[in-house]
């Protein structure tokens, strides 16, 4: 009988790594704005972990040990996969890459975004190319490769540092109907905080109805509820000149940006690294546009925006509607602002 166990590094080693990681992250914040430096620092920490856990010197031996054995770092990647999968999907779009080391010209592929060995072989190749290849910081493709690989490594290290404890995520919630199933999905990997900031909703009575169901949503999932200001005058000023825009046009883009910017600000104020929005769940909203806005705002604020995959959207919406009906949430019949009432 062979006993299977999870190999963990000793606590003193982890504490040393944590000291360096958080010192660099918190004191030298600007370092992390450069994806090339970000990647190399993250790889150095990961490589130190591999050396400690495998007790090997050669890169190939260290990585093979990592692929073939249970270890806490790998298990936490798998446990919190939803926090990392978006970076892998972006890397897959950039596959294949050429091995640029001397005497080698083979192509390295990332065909399966769920194959951990394939993912790390692809990222290791990026690392090798930085040392031995002719990577160009002005090259858009090279920048994307390094940035997404750095995001994946940093997220993996964050998960390892935090251990089994789930990170908080601030979920901008436009309404409980859109938030029902998304909150359930995110709760598997995060500790949800429901953020109700929707100054676009008109009239105030409608706002209160939707807020009441959002409070109920938070209670069902045992999540903290946070209400943003109902600064409807500020919203009106923001969309001035766009009143006649069609639904889904420029007025909506400004509205999305305003609410997601406020969500990012609230996340930073509370020390929450991750945020998401229920806006992209609705079949009437452009999830690609919302994801782009969220990712841009996240980058500007040093946060992580959790996106909704277009392929999963219909399933999330169908399950969300069913849960909303089961929970007896208030179900509105227009988007929210006074102009969407006119266009109904």
Phi, psi (rounded to 5 degrees) for 27: -85, -40
**pLDDT in the model for residue 136:** 67
Pairing of strands 107-108, 274-277: unpaired
Pairing of strands 97-98, 107-108: antiparallel
**pLDDT in the model for residue 79:** 82
The pLDDT confidence band at residue 80, using thresholds 50, 70 and 90, is confident
Of 14 and 30, which is predicted with more confidence?
14
pLDDT exceeds 90 at position 281: yes
CA distance 300 to 269: 15
From first CA to last CA, the distance across the chain in angstroms is: 67
Unique residue bearing structure tokens 């006993």: 3
Phi, psi (rounded to 5 degrees) for 276: -150, 175
Q: Mean per-residue pLDDT for 322-327? A: 94
pLDDT exceeds 50 at position 27: no
pLDDT exceeds 60 at position 303: yes
Q: Mean per-residue pLDDT for 57-80? A: 91
**Structural tokens at position 220:** 């069902």
The pLDDT confidence band at residue 228, using thresholds 50, 70 and 90, is very high
The C-alpha angle with vertex 124 and arms to 122 and 127, in degrees rounded to 5, equals 120
CA-CA-CA-CA torsion sign (44, 116, 113, 299): negative
- In the chain, the percentage of residues whose pLDDT exceeds 90 is 53
Question: Tens of pLDDT along 163-185?
Answer: 766 678 999 999 999 999 999 98
Q: Mean per-residue pLDDT for 14-18? A: 73
CA-CA-CA-CA torsion sign (130, 91, 73, 297): positive
Of 105 and 75, which is predicted with more confidence?
75
CA dist 235 → 186, 197, 251 (Å): 29, 11, 10
Ordered by where they begin, the domains of the chain are 11-162 (no CATH), 167-342 (3.40.50.620)
Of 195 and 303, which is predicted with more confidence?
195
Q: Averaging pLDDT over each range in 3-7, 232-236, 258-262, which range is the top one?
A: 258-262
- In the chain, the percentage of residues whose pLDDT exceeds 70 is 88
Buried b (16+ CB within 10 A) or exposed e, 114-136: eeeebbbebbbbbbbbbeebebe
CA distance 160 to 154: 10
**pLDDT in the model for residue 273:** 86
CA distance 256 to 245: 14
pLDDT exceeds 60 at position 301: yes
For residue 69, give the 3-state DSSP assignment.
coil
Kindly give the interhelix angle for 72-79 and 35-54, rounded to the nearest 10 degrees: 130
**Structural tokens at position 219:** 């209670």
Q: 14-23, 73-82, 99-108, 133-142: which has the minimum mean pLDDT?
A: 14-23
**pLDDT in the model for residue 160:** 86
CA distance 261 to 266: 9
């Amino acid at each position: 009988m062979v006993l299977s166990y999870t190999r963990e590094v000793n606590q003193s080693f982890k504490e040393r790594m944590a000291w360096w990681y958080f010192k660099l992250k918190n004191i030298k914040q600007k370092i992390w704005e450069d994806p090339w430096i970000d990647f190399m620092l993250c790889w150095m920490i990961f490589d130190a972990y591999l050396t400690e856990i495998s007790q090997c010197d050669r890169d190939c031996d260290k990585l093979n040990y990592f692929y073939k054995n249970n270890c806490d770092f790998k298990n936490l990647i798998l446990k919190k996969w939803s926090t990392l999968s978006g970076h892998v999907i972006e890397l897959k779009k950039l596959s294949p890459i050429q091995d640029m080391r001397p005497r080698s010209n083979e192509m390295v592929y990332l065909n399966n975004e769920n194959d951990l060995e394939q993912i790390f072989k692809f990222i290791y190749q990026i690392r090798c190319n930085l040392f031995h290849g002719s990577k160009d910081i002005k090259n858009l493709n090279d920048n994307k490769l390094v940035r997404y690989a750095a995001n994946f490594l940093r997220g993996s290290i964050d998960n390892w540092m935090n251990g089994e404890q789930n990170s908080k995520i601030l979920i901008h919630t436009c309404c409980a109907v859109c938030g029902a199933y998304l909150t359930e999905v995110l709760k598997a990997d995060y500790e949800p905080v429901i953020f109700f900031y929707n100054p676009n909703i008109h009239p105030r009575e409608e706002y209160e109805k939707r807020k009441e169901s959002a409070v109920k949503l938070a209670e069902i999932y045992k999540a903290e509820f946070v209400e943003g200001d109902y600064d409807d005058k500020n919203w009106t000023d923001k969309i001035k000149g766009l009143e006649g825009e069609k639904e889904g046009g420029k007025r909506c883009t400004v509205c999305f940006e305003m609410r997601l910017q406020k969500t990012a600000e609230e996340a930073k104020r509370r020390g929450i690294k991750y945020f998401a929005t229920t806006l992209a769940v609705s079949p009437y909203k452009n999830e690609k546009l919302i994801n782009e806005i969220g990712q841009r705002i996240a980058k500007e604020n040093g946060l992580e925006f959790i996106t909704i995959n277009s392929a999963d959207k219909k399933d999330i919406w169908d399950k969300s509607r069913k849960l909303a009906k089961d929970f007896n949430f208030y179900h509105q019949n227009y988007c929210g602002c006074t102009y969407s009432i006119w266009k109904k």
